[in-house]
């Protein structure tokens, strides 16, 4: 796939993921766009996957919540939350029944 075609598709999927993540977090913490293209080792360009999973990453700063594809490529992120706030967000996601959790390694923007 051509770079710009893949990028346009990926950007659309990132925007949709960002809007979805925003429904689970408060207005004070914006969801941010993440990765629009898959990181592959070939010269072909592929957009991030269409499917949506949620993932939670724990770092020293707190918890990051991401919407990612089936390969763990983050499309939208919101960070850094306390454990209580993370649990609140996770409960909202679970109550919605719209997303399954991704348990593998999450690819985040550098």
pTM to 2 decimals? 0.92
Q: Which two tokens stand for residue 2?
A: 């051509």
For the chain, state the CA radius of gyration: 14
CB under 8 Å to 11, separation ≥6 — which residues?
36
Residue given tokens 């770079």 in the structure block: 3
Give the pLDDT score at 88.
Answer: 95
CA 24, chain centre distance (Å) = 12
Q: Which two tokens stand for residue 72?
A: 């763990």
For residue 39, pLDDT beyond 80: no
For residue 41, pLDDT beyond 80: no
Alpha-helical regions (H) of the chain: 3-22, 83-96
pLDDT digits (tens, 9 = 90+) for 45-101: 999 999 999 999 999 999 999 999 999 999 999 989 999 999 999 999 999 998 999
pLDDT band at 35 (very low <50, low <70, confident <90, very high): very high
């Amino acid at each position: 796939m051509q770079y710009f075609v893949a990028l346009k598709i990926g950007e659309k999927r990132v925007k949709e993921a960002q809007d979805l993540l925003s429904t689970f977090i408060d207005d004070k913490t914006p969801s941010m766009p993440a990765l629009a293209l898959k990181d592959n080792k070939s010269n072909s360009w592929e957009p991030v996957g269409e499917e949506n999973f949620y993932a939670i990453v724990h770092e020293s700063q707190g918890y990051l919540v991401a919407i990612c594809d089936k390969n763990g490529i983050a499309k939208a992120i919101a960070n850094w939350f306390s454990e209580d706030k993370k649990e609140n967000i996770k409960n909202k996601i679970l109550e919605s029944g719209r997303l399954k959790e991704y348990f593998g390694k999450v690819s985040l923007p550098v």
